[in-house]
Amino acid sequence: MSHPRSIAVTVAGAVLHRGARSDSSLDLLLERYPQMSPDDRALATELAYGVLRNLGRLDHILKVFSKKPLSKLDTDVLTILRVGLYQLEFLDKIPPYAAVSESVRLTGEFGKRSAGGFVNGVLRAYLRNKDAVSYPDRSTDPGGFITAYHSLPLWLAKRCIDWFGVEGAIAAAEYLRGRPPLTLRVNRLKIDRARLLERLREGTGEMRPGRFSPDAITASGAGSILRGGWFEGGLFSIQDEASQLVTHLLGVKEGMTLLDLCAAPGGKATHAAELMNDRGRVVSVERSRERARLMAGNVRRLSLESIQMITADAGRIPISPTTPFDRVLVDPPCSALGVLRRNPEIKWRLSEADIDDLIRLQTEILEEAAGYTAPGGALAYSVCTFNPDEGRGVVESFLARRPEFSLDHAGEYLPEATGQFLDGPYLFTSPDRIEGDDSSGPDGFFAARMTRREG
């Protein structure tokens, strides 16, 4: 099982057929084989995530060459085919004969040796007749094209077309199939960005300052960075730039009080504490005990003392609203479409009905948070999705009901470099707004800041 292709099949199969999470499944398996070389670990990661990100195209191709319906195939055999085809379709550095022969070998390893000839036949048929694969016409059937070529479910492809137009939807779908960057957030209480960059560059891969957040570093060489002692020493956290910008939107200062709802794993709360020089009070509310424990570990690692954690439902906060907060952050559960690069299985599990349920929950939590915002204080709402119904829709509905709140302009609180992500008064790091073809841009986020009127 220590072979990278075996790990990829195990992870992809667990995610697609048993409801597992890609990140935790892969981490668990890699931890079992610490002797694996960095190259093999990288290959296992590439194959597992590559299949999940490109599942729509892979299955579209397999339907052309498989004489059996994919729904009738054994799940292990289907996963082996997907991993093998991913190498042939997307990876130039792996010789085709190696991808095919290793796929046949995997049928034996997974107890499906009788399917070896079938797997060999399907993959070799693809190699002989690649040109036989056709896709829906992007002009007459853009939703079908995005589904088959760019691997978005049809319902989501159609939604993206509604939101961004055809070309914007294609650009967004392509971006979301890319590999996300590893982004660090400097703990400014322990070190500044320039000095941390110097240290990291001494023994790791390419590093550069983030383009949008003043606390960000975009990095490569993840394994060596996390094993170098800098992470455990609290010099930095792992946090995407878009998420970092949400904290800057709050405009926190020393001595302020902050209520952070749905807080774990704590990226925004710990960032806020750092921006306040750990001099203030941050109350973080998280319903999941497991996620709360994870956040508590991050708080200790960063040596922060201003954070108080409460395990409770954000809709039923066990704090009296008679002592309101200077800042309140609502970061509720959402469709998470903005982080499909990191958790690609989301798009294969999410439904339109799920989104309706999420909007109701987001509305309830935002209403609850309003009562804890001090007069003259700010209430921020953020979701890691580019669905406007969960972003702008929830905020505008809230403002229509709550005239004591006024909408602030995000641009007044964010670094100048974020101008491309301003959608009127909102922060909106939508994937169709990324300039150029650089896949190292931020995740998809929406955020709004509102002020409660005094008196």
**What residue ranges in 274-334 does DSSP mark as E strands?**
281-286, 307-311, 325-330
The answer for residues whose C-beta is within 8 angstroms of residue 383's C-beta and 6 or more apart is 331, 332, 334, 335, 338, 362, 390, 391, 394, 445, 446, 447
The answer for residues whose C-beta is within 8 angstroms of residue 31's C-beta and 6 or more apart is none
Q: How far apart are the first and last CA of the chain?
A: 66
Exposed, middle or buried by CB within 10 Å (0-12, 13-18, 19+), for 311? middle
Q: How many whole angstroms separate alpha carbon 56 and alpha carbon 16?
A: 12
Q: What distances in angstroms separate CA 277 from CA 253, 255, 271, 305, 389, one per listed residue? A: 8, 9, 10, 10, 36
Q: How many whole angstroms separate alpha carbon 184 and alpha carbon 446?
A: 20
The answer for residues whose C-beta is within 8 angstroms of residue 44's C-beta and 6 or more apart is 4, 5, 7, 8, 11, 26, 29, 30, 36
User: Nearest 5 degrees, angle CA 340-CA 174-CA 148?
Assistant: 95
Which structure tokens are listed for 127?
A: 């190699």
Which structure tokens are listed for 143?
A: 């939703």
Q: What is the set of active-site residues?
A: 384
User: Nearest 5 degrees, angle CA 352-CA 355-CA 359?
Assistant: 150
Name residue 421's amino acid.
F
Q: How many whole angstroms separate alpha carbon 249 and alpha carbon 418?
A: 11
Q: How many whole angstroms separate alpha carbon 180 and alpha carbon 440?
A: 6
In terms of DSSP H, where are the helices of 54-141? 55-65, 75-90, 96-109, 116-128
Find out whether 129 and 137 touch, Cβ atoms under 8 Å.
no
